[in-house]
Structure 1
Amino acid sequence: MTNDLIYFNKTRLAPTPSGFLHVGNILSFAITAALAHKHGVKVLLRIDDMDRIRATPEYLADVFDTLRFLEIPWDEGPANADEFEGTFSQLHRMSLYNAALEELREKGAVFACTCSRKQLLETGSCTCINKNIPLDTPEASWRLRTDSNLINVKTYTGEIIKEEMPADMQNFVVRKKDGLPAYQLTSLIDDLFYGVDLIVRGQDLWHSTLAQLALAKLLGKEAFGETVFYHHPLLLEPSGQKLSKSAGSTSVRFMRMEGKSKRDVFKDISGFAGLDNIAEDWQQLGSELLLKQGVY
């Protein structure tokens, strides 16, 4: 059980408009909203749109349509797609991301990588760390120089977990080949900028949490080390495999086109999650999930 004496200021919903919101997103949002309600904290809607190739107006509009259809609330952030584009898009925070990248450059904490995707697949890792490739080389990404120091993660249950950087996050990318900041950096800077101190994520993003905590330490952002994380179980297929979000039938948009109501959507998610009690709204879904996980 969590320590109920822990106080939080803010949590967030952080969808990416690179596809239609799916049932896995809704499960995470319901847990986030339930924890926010329990602790009396604000919910920020923080949309990650730095992937300018895959982020489309249709997917962006779907974020607001789906949240309103399912009546999932938020307290801060854009009210609609136009307000998002005008004020809240990550493009408006490029100066913050670039300042962080420049600080990493000045500290000698990054190196240039010119490995192709094919090379990375064949070798399993980047081989550029000792090549001294100039950072301003065209089409070069920037990778963080990671170490083997233990990373402390403060969990919602009150436990502090200590782990080394996992193999798949060694020397992870902080600036992409197109010159834009990468996800691990933008997510960290955004959460610091908005004052988020409770982050709810799926278990599949545990390695991202470790990467962002390590990056925060290198940047001297000690406040991020005090952030509390809750990593929830993922939705599973009957076979036990992770529910594929690439399947169109898992998107809420598809379910609505099939004539399903808000109740139907939450009923389906309850089934995927293996809940004994069928939820009819986000409050019930979030509470039942947290009860099942033994943290509510």
Structure 2
Amino acid sequence: MNTRTPRLRFAPSPTGYLHVGNLRTAVANYLFAARHGGELMLRMDDTDLARSRPEYEAAIQEDLHWLGIPWAQFARQSERMDRYEAAAERLKASGHLYPCFESEEELAAKRAMRLKRRLPPVYDRAMLALTPEQRAAAEANGKRPYWRFKLSGDTITWNDLVFGERRVKLPSVSDPVLIRADGTPLYTFTSVVDDLEFGVTHIIRGEDHVTNTGIQIDLMAALGGKPGDIAFAHLPLLTDAEGGKLSKRFDSLSVRSLRKDGLEPDAIIAYLARLGSADDMAPLTRAELADSFDLGRMSHSAAIFDPRQLLAINRHLLHRLSFAEVASRLPPEATEGFWLAVRGNLDLLSEARDWWRIVTGDIVPPAQPEEAEFLRMAAEHLPAEPWDAATAGAWTKALGAAAGRRGKALFHPLRLALTGEESGPDLRDLLPLIGRDRALRRLTG
């Protein structure tokens, strides 16, 4: 592994909201940097001017702030076009970048012909034979060239921090287009220029970039960089429960949707940190997650994103939060006693407001005509205030003896009448919060 101070980057394209698949990459970079004393850079890969939007960039930054993922440096690729132009000129001068004029139709015909001959559909490098006169004639006819990078033809090998030894045979890959005919540089190119110039030491991204990595290592060498100075890790992709690739089209899996649904940022980070690894899921602190984060323990198989597991992490995290940690997000009048009473029954913090309404507001319990006599008896047995944690036990013991009831037959109608819910926090804790007057009204209808 590289011995320099780790410098990592998270480089989203601001073409949509931050999605859990992309966030998983951010979490891995963030925790790796935290564990190894490094720093994280946020880079907006926004050279796709047709699709990039400032509102998406702002949303990505807002989501990362909410999640508590800090960055030490920020950059936009759209503000670095001069650096890409300078790098492109160096590649042209060294013969690594060559102009091409084929149309999409011509390229498609070539691919079809090679497939028909049972050959791999690799670009044939026909434009390498283009003479200066032919290029001038094409440009005179209104054509503008796009530019391809001439791959070395080597087999690129690296020690992946997740998968171990990986290799890409460049002869089986088409020379990539680095610059479009309109002069716009593509990701494959801009990313390498930035990684070299910003001194990135570790690149952690999805497994779908493996072939890209082989190409980019070759490109790094052509630009005078030392590819061995950068370590790579490729995370297996995330799938849904049916094994399909997670799609950005599923708004329910955007960070802002999870936030709107009431998920805690620490739960999201804890879940994604362990997803697809050999380590058990647990609602760990950031420090605990960073200390235990190990790319070598990642599975080589795709990981299934299971919202139920995320909710379970969220539930466990809520159950151990103190009142001081959540007071600002509860109703202003909520007390520590209320929080301690309800937190063990919450999946989402937003549910605490529902319980506050139940214990302090007006509710309409479901009708229980068959229990009318029993509820009348329950009202008659209500003890005088003040009430405390022992009140519910004494009340239900006396009521059970008088009514000849116990278990569900005793407690279920009482819970329905007092809370309107089939289940929830222990009546021992709820009853003092509800109070005698409110309890009496609910029991007597």
The TM tier, using the shorter chain, reads: 0.7 to 0.9
> What is the alpha-carbon distance in structure 1 between the residues aligned to residue 7 and residue 229 of structure 2?
13
Equivalence for 1:145: 150
| Aligned-partner Cα distance in 1 for 2:296–2:216 | 28
Alignment of 1:1-296 (within 5 A): 6-77=3-74, 88-121=75-108, 123=111, 124-126=121-123, 128-130=126-128, 132=130, 134=135, 137=139, 138-156=143-161, 161-165=166-170, 167=172, 169-222=173-226, 224-263=227-266, 265-266=268-269, 269=272, 273=276, 276-279=280-283, 287=292, 290=295, 292-293=297-298
Query: What is the one-letter code of the residue matched to 1:235?
Result: L
How far does residue 210 in structure 1 lie from its aligned partner after superposition?
1.0
- CA shift, 1:191, in A, is 0.8
What TM-score, normalized to structure 2?
A: 0.56
SS of residue in 1 equivalent to 2:69: coil
CA pair 247-118 structure 1, distance change in 2 beyond 3 A: farther
Q: Which has the higher helix share?
A: 2
Cα RMSD of the aligned pairs, angstroms, is: 3.1
Find the structure with the greater CA-based Rg. Answer: 2
2:376 aligned residue: none
In 2, the alpha carbon distance for the partners of 1:63 and 1:190 equals 20
Q: Could you list the per-position Cα deviations for residues 18-39 of structure 1 after superposition, in whole angstroms to 9, with x for gaps in the alignment? A: 1111001111111111111111
Counterparts in 2 of 1:51 and 1:12: CA distance versus 1, 3 Å = same
From the superposition, tell whether residues 281 and 26 of structure 1 become closer, same or farther in structure 2 (CA, over 3 Å).
Answer: farther
Further displaced range: 186-195 or 275-284: 275-284
SS of 1:15 mapped into structure 2: coil
AA of the residue aligned to 2:160: T
The answer to whether the 8 A contact 2:274-2:281 is kept is no
Shift of 1:178: 1.6
Deviation at 1:62, TM superposition (A): 1.1
Q: Give the gaps of 5 or more residues in structure 1.
A: 78-87
Please state how far the C-alpha of 1:240 moved relative to its aligned partner. Answer: 2.1
Aligned in 2, Cα 1:266/1:20: closer, same or farther, shift over 3 Å? same
Q: Is the 8 A contact 1:154 1:161 kept in 2?
A: yes
Summarize the Cα distance change of 1:37–1:131 in structure 2 as closer, same or farther, 3 Å threshold. same
Query: Which structure is richer in relative contact order (CA contacts within 8 A, separation 6 or more)?
Result: 1
Determine helix, strand or coil for the equivalent of 2:41: strand
Identity among equivalent pairs (%): 31
Against the structure 1 CA distance between its residues 41 and 270, is the aligned structure 2 distance closer, same or farther, given a 3 Å change threshold?
closer
- In structure 2, the residue corresponding to 1:21 is in which secondary structure? coil
Q: Kindly indicate whether the alpha-carbon contact (under 8 Å) linking 2:161 and 2:231 is maintained by their aligned counterparts in 1.
A: yes
Tell me how many residue pairs correspond in the alignment.
Answer: 280
Distance, in Å, in 1 between the alignment partners of 2:153 and 2:105 is 27
Task: Give yes or no for contact 1:113–1:126 (8 Å, CA) kept in 2.
Answer: no
After superposition, the Cα gap between the structure-2 partners of 1:145 and 1:284, relative to the gap in structure 1 and judged at 3 Å, is: same
Counterpart of 1:164 in structure 2: which amino acid? K
Which stretch has the larger CA shift, 195-204 or 147-156?
147-156
Counterparts in 2 of 1:121 and 1:252: CA distance versus 1, 3 Å? farther
- The code of the aligned residue for 2:239 comes to L
Paired residue secondary structure (1:205): helix
- Quote the offset at 1:217 in angstroms: 1.5
Whichever residue aligns with residue 277 of structure 1, its letter is M
- Counterpart of 2:93 in structure 1: which amino acid? E
- 2:350 corresponds in structure 1 to none
**What amino acid sits opposite 1:110 in the alignment?**
L
Give the CA deviation at 1:116: 3.5
Aligned to 1:82: none
What SS class does the counterpart of residue 184 from structure 1 fall into?
helix
CA 1:98–1:239 in structure 2 vs 1: closer, same or farther (change >3 Å)? same
